[in-house]
Structure formats: C-alpha cells, structure tokens
C-alpha cells in the first residue's frame, strides 16, 4: 500500500493546494493555484491529477459543505459567501478520474493529518483549531471525525465580550462569537494592523489569549479531548501559547482534574506537521478510500 500514489486536494478559501504523496506521509509533488471560481480552476485541477495517474484522491474542502455520504449533497459546496461556488458539486467534478475518493472539511482533514502524522499520533479524541482568516475546528471523537447534520462549526460558539471591546466582532451573523472576536480580521479591525505587525504589543495578545482560552474551555468541557492543537496564521504568534494555557486552567477553575490538564504544556500544543497537516490529512483520506 505504501507504493500507491495518492492525490491530495486541500481546497481552501484563498488557494487550492494540489499534492501527490504516499501512505507513509511522503509528499512527492505539490503545486498551488488561487481559489477562483469553479469555471476557472476545476478543470485544471482534474487534469493535474489525471496527468499524475494517482490511485486515489482525498479532498478537504472549505465549507459549509456536505460531508454525509448518504446525503444527496455529499461533496457539494453549500451556502458559502463565495457565491461562484455555492451549490457546486466539487466531489462530482473529479469522478472522471475513476478512482476511489475521500471527502471532508478542510479543518477535519487537518485534524486527521495531526492524528496520523503529527502532534496527536496515537490519540483518538482530538480537537484541531485553526485561527486565521476565520476560526474552524476539526474534531475527532473515538477515532472518528465528527459529523452531524453538517460539519461542527465550532468557530461560532458564543463568548462573552470583554468590557470595552464591544463592536469589534467581524462576523456578519454574531456580535460575540469566537471567530468574530478572535480571528485575524477582528484583530486588524480592532487594532488597525495585521497580527504580524502587532507582535510587540502585549495588550493585543493579552486580549487575544483571553478570547482563545475561553474558546478552549468550551471545547474541553464539550468534547473532552486528549489534546488540543492550535494552528493557523494567528498562532504564529507563539507568545500566545503560555497565556492561553494559563487562562484555560483559570477558566476551568479546577472543575476537571486529569493527567492531561496537569500537563497543560503538552495538552494545548502547536501543530506538528510543519504546516502540511491539511495535505497529509487528505492523503490519509485517500488511503482510506483506497482500502475501503
């Protein structure tokens, strides 16, 4: 099985990452193209994988998207603000390859990549959170990626707004959700500069770590993960990690006592795949489709 060539498509909101790898996590080839409309990029992507004669394909897509194989909208992009992609059959566009295919959300495949190849190897209850242009969470429970009526949109949990920070949510739906208060665009809206330009402003990261830690407390009590992995552009500000860990414990306030929380530095951790967790998760999706 390690000889099989597996295609990986990480279909993100700003770029499409196309890769070919093997089941041991080796990435042999990759390229990127901008996420334009389907008419501008889908045929190019199909042709790219066809030319490389891959044996299977794993796709991790931006959402909302249909992830229930029993549903007629499985593999479709659903109600997205990217209007050109609304109600587009992304999975179906690749059926001409005539190979086994796996499909899930971009954050779920990132979680799968970390469990298979990265920081969470050997664990089966894990939350992967990306904090960047938006906030999303991939959740694995009992070794299975979490699905329901749709994918869990855990970036939109509601959080109390810190005093004096009213009006800084950038979510068009919620004045006080996690994504609206703590994603990269919210930082820029609040402080007038992008996150990487504010690295030496401790007040920025004190507030940001407060919101992130409140989100982590919610995830701990709801999902009971063995590990939480934080990735995305905002988390490149690594000074956040010790603050988030300390504040998460403060918000839990001793309610839970576990060996994992007692070792908080190895419980809330940085991503372990050098930025390739999405691609590697797609490879694992394709591998699973191949042996199914």
Q: Quick check: 1 pLDDT over 80?
A: no
Clarify whether residues 56 and 144 are in a common domain.
no
| b (16+ CB within 10 A) / e for 74-97 | ebbbeebeeeebeebbbbebbeeb
Residues 257 and 193 in one domain: yes
Give yes or no: residues 132 and 13 share one domain. Answer: no
| pLDDT tens digits for range 241-262 | 999 999 999 999 999 999 999 9
Quote the tokens at residue 243: 């603050």
Structure confidence by residue, pLDDT tens digits, 12-35? 888 999 999 999 999 999 999 999
Residue ranges making up the domain that contains 177: 119-270
Split at pLDDT 50, 70, 90, the class of 152 is confident
Rounded to two decimals, the pTM is 0.95
Statement to judge: residues 127 and 94 lie in one domain: no
DSSP one-letter code for 149: S
Which distant-in-sequence residues (6+ apart) come within 8 Å of 107 by Cβ? 128, 129, 130, 136, 137, 138, 151
Q: Do residue 129 and residue 241 come from a single domain? A: yes
Query: What is the per-residue pLDDT for 292?
Result: 87
Look up the CATH number of the domain holding residue 31.
3.30.420.40
Do 127 and 266 fall into the same domain?
yes
Higher pLDDT, 97 or 80: 97
In a domain, 277, yes or no: no
In a domain, 290, yes or no: no
Residues 82 and 161 in one domain: no
Domain boundary among 105, 132, 153: 105
- Taken in order 205, 272, 14, 282, the sign of the CA dihedral is negative
Tokens 């951790």 label which residue? Answer: 269
> Which pLDDT score is estimated for 14?
86
Q: H-helix or E-strand containing 127?
A: strand 126-131
Asked, as a colleague might, if the bond just before 253 is cis with ω within 30 of 0, I would say no
* Cβ-based neighbour number of residue 247 at 10 Å: 19
* Residue 283 in domain: no
| Number of compact structural domains in the chain | 2
In-domain check, residue 39? yes
Do residue 170 and residue 232 come from a single domain?
yes
Q: Are 244 and 216 in contact (CB under 8 A)?
A: yes
The confidence band for 190, taking pLDDT boundaries of 50, 70 and 90, is very high
Distance of CA 6 to the CA centre of its chain: 21
DSSP designation for 74: B
The confidence score (pLDDT) of residue 262 equals 98
> Which pLDDT value is given to residue 3?
85
């Amino acid at each position: 099985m390690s000889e099989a060539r597996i295609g990986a498509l990480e279909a993100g909101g700003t770029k499409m990452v196309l890769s070919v790898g093997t089941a041991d996590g080796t990435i042999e080839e990759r390229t990127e193209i901008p996420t334009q409309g389907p008419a501008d990029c889908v045929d190019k992507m199909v042709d790219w994988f066809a030319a490389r004669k891959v044996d299977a394909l794993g796709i991790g897509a931006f959402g909302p998207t249909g992830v229930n194989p029993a549903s007629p909208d499985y593999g479709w992009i659903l109600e997205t603000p990217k209007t050109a992609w609304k109600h587009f059959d992304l999975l179906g566009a690749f059926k001409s390859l005539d190979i086994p295919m796996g499909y899930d959300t971009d954050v779920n495949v990132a979680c799968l990549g970390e469990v298979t190849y990265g920081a969470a190897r050997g664990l089966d209850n894990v939350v992967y959170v990306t904090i960047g242009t938006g906030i999303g969470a991939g959740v694995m429970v009992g070794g299975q990626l979490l699905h329901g009526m749709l994918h869990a949109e855990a970036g939109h949990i509601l959080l109390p707004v810190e005093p004096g920070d009213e009006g800084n949510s950038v979510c068009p739906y919620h004045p006080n959700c996690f994504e609206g208060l703590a994603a990269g665009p919210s930082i820029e809206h609040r402080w007038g500069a992008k996150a990487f330009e504010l690295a030496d402003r401790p007040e920025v990261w004190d507030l940001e770590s407060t919101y992130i830690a409140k989100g982590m407390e919610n995830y701990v009590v709801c999902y009971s993960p063995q590990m939480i992995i934080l990735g995305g552009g905002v988390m490149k500000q690594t000074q956040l990690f010790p603050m988030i860990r300390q504040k998460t414990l403060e918000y839990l306030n001793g309610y839970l006592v576990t060996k994992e929380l007692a070792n908080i530095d190895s419980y809330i951790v940085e991503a372990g795949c050098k930025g390739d967790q999405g691609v590697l998760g797609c490879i694992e999706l394709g591998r699973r489709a191949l042996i199914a």
